[in-house]
Structure 1
Amino acid sequence: MKKHYRSDSNCLNCGTVVNDKYCSSCGQENLELHENFLHLMLHSVGHYFHFESKFFNSLVPLLTKPGHLTKEYFAGRRASHLNPISMYISISILFFFLFTANSNINKKEILKEDAAEEKTITKEEDTGAKNQAKATANAEKTVLAAEPEKEEAPAIKDKITIAGWEVPINDLNAKFREVRHDETKNALFRNKLVSHLPKIMFVLLPLFALILKLVNFRSKKFYAEHLIYSIHVHSFLFLFGSILIALKWLLPFLSGWLLFAGFVVSIWYIYQSMRTIYRSRRWLTVFKFLMLAFAYTFLLLMSGFGMVVATLYTV
């Protein structure tokens, strides 16, 4: 159906003079305000299918053609694809939503198993364990009383430093045991931990790009190009992870195989995308991949450990 365009040449959104159907400044279409219902519906449906077209033009090659979206982006063919950052945010929200739901399901199963194990401990076994502990303590006291006093050994370092913050190891162990055995605090700890993961991953994205730039130091690519590639890689990993979580719910008896397949496919995807973007020889790409994997795994472990410790002290 034919669209009704305004006769006035001023853009209602930004006030710029409109020489054609679209404003050259903000891109708004110069349509009549008072449309009938049919025009309104057709206009909305058209926008929807335009978005849907961009959606499938982005997600299908993201899953099936490693590195393709990055090449398209820097070749200037961007209008037909989703914005990389918007796509990353949308996919990461989906992934962490499913990841949280999956963690809650696993938590319920673990709690049921723990409860079943606790019921198997009889009162006689519990009493025997207490008596054994008392006997051991009395024996230790007797031995200590018989031994001569010795000079105290030098104190062993009992603190670790995380980002300039000293954390007592004994205190950390106590907090961990407390959270582990308290169902409410355990659930709160998991929820807070998962809520911090998107922030950590968003911070690690530019670091991933920086590692790529260092690994490919002979490449003439700008840092922004490495960053866009990093965004596309992480978008794939989160989207593929979302698909695996959904498949695990549908096919729980294949969870082990799905995890293995996810690991293999992820490695293959990153390797193949690096070949596509950086055009290095096979063995050189393998070497770069191993360096990237080592550095990024180290960053993940360090940031993950720091996040766990920080979360422990906030529940």
Structure 2
Amino acid sequence: MKTQPLRKEKNCLNCGTEVPERYCTHCGQENTVQHETFGHLVGHFVADIFHYDSQFLTTLKALLVKPGFLTREYMAGRRVRYVNPIKLYVFVSFVFFFGVLALNSSHKEENGEDEMAEETLLNTGIGKDTIRLAAGTAGLKKAFENDSSATGRRIEELATSMNNVKSAREFDSLQQALPDSQRLNGVARKLMRRMVEVQHKYGKDTQAVIVEMFQHNLPKLMFILLPLFALFMKWMYDRKKWLYADHAIFAIHLHTFAFIIGLLASILTAIFHKGIFLTICYWSIVIYLVLALRNNYHQSLVKSLFKSIFLLGIYLLSAGIVFLGFLVLIFGIFL
């Protein structure tokens, strides 16, 4: 690429320092004529892109095929050749959430909003009945429609009777009209009343509303879960040898890998409509975690396996608690 001609003046236009050759020794700006041609602008743009891609591709290759390697490199001080972990996480998580939302929007048009809402939350590992409970009285009825027990039939009957109630005031009036033995009490009464109020305010499809809010807030929830994951790791490893920041870098790289694999699995699932890709994604993350722990913390494969099982178990439990807290917050906002 033809270089831009140098200025005759030897003062840096950016900081005023004397420039003996092409680049300023103080700020690094090139001392060239400022009226650049369009070709030069395009050339600089392409050069910058390829420079970033070179660093990005090196980082991406190491992240995908060498579990734990990037974390070791970072802690060893070899950082210039790789993208900063936090920048990498922010960029990859943005692409992941944007891509998943785009795929979900496309899938929603094909399969309908209700089915898509339930499938979206099922992919997060949340139980089907829990999802249906969040959908209001219609979802509550569906959750217990196949339950032949006395309790199941009673809940289904209540959900059916409450499904046509239009407001919380109407719900209270109907409850007052019932005999004492048939009235709802305690938590059951409060829960059903909230479901009625939510449906009255947001329409029948409250599940779609919750899913939409869940999707938009999922990046924030991940920022809660990621430091928790690092904290769990701190409990399991020598605190004198490893700092919390070391575990945090490991957690960032692990989550970044999970986002990349998750996006790839989502794209393949959308194309081929096969759930096997998500299954492969989950197992890939488990295997990656075991290998990354072994390679980064230099412990045996057996120890790394058991620690991986513990980490995943407590992480999923924490994710469930965070999600339930999210639902409580959503219902609180609705009210």
Write the distance in 2 (CA, Å) between the matches of 1:25 and 1:179.
62
1:165-314 counterparts in 2 under 5 A? 168-174=190-196, 182-183=204-205, 185-217=206-238, 220-252=241-273, 254=274, 256-314=275-333
2:93–2:259 contact (8 Å) kept in structure 1: yes
SS across alignment from 2:304: helix
The residue type equivalent to 2:83 in the other structure is L
**Does the CA contact (< 8 Å) of 2:17 and 2:24 recur in 1?**
yes
> Residue 215 of structure 1: CA displacement?
1.1
Matched residue SS, 1:56: helix
Call closer, same or farther: CA 1:20–1:232 in 2, change over 3 Å.
farther
* 8 Å Cα contact 1:215-1:292 kept in structure 2: no
Do structure 1's residue 79 and structure 2's residue 80 form an aligned pair?
Answer: yes
**Which structure would you say has the larger Rg?**
1
| 1: CA distance, partners of 2:294 / 2:237 | 12
Partners in 2 of 1:279 and 1:175 — Cα distance?
55
Count of aligned residue pairs for this structure pair? 273
Q: 1:219 to 1:34 in 2, by over 3 A?
A: same
State, as a whole percentage, how many aligned pairs show the same letter. 34
Quick one: distance in 2 between partners of 1:268 and 1:218?
25
CA distance in 1, matches of 2:94, 2:307: 30
Amino acid at match of 1:311: I
Q: Which has the higher contact order (CA 8 A, sep 6+)?
A: 1
How has the CA–CA distance of structure 1 residues 19 and 174 changed in structure 2, closer, same or farther, with 3 Å as cutoff?
farther
Q: Distance in 2 between matches of 1:6 and 1:73?
A: 40
Query: Per the alignment, do residues 75 and 241 of structure 1 end up closer, same or farther by CA in structure 2, a change over 3 Å counting?
Result: same
Find the aligned partners of 2:21 and 2:197 in 1 and give their Cα distance. Answer: 66
Structure 1 residue 206, shift from structure 2 partner = 1.6
2:115 & 2:234 partners in 1: Cα distance? 47
CA displacement at 1:245 relative to structure 2: 0.8
SS in 2 for 1:158: helix
Structure 1 residue runs without a partner (length 5+): 115-128, 134-143, 160-166
8 Å CA contact retained: 1:189, 1:312: no
Question: Structure 1 counterpart of 2:307, which letter?
Answer: K
Q: Give SS of 1:170's match.
A: helix
Q: Give the direction of change, closer, same or farther, for the CA distance of 1:170–1:287 in structure 2 (3 Å limit).
A: same
Equivalent residue, structure 2, for 1:51:
52
The amino acid that maps onto 1:281 is: S
The answer to whether the 8 Å contact 2:114/2:207 transfers is no
- Residue identity in the other structure for 1:209: A
Distance 1:217 1:177 in 2: 51
**8-17 or 47-56, larger mean C-alpha shift:** 8-17
1:121 is matched with which residue? none
- Conservation of the 8 A alpha-carbon contact between 1:179 and 1:186: no
**Counterparts in 2 of 1:226 and 1:173: CA distance versus 1, 3 Å:** same
Q: TM-score w.r.t. structure 2 length?
A: 0.69
Alignment CA distance shift 1:58-1:18 (3 Å)? farther
Deviation at 1:103, TM superposition (A): 3.5
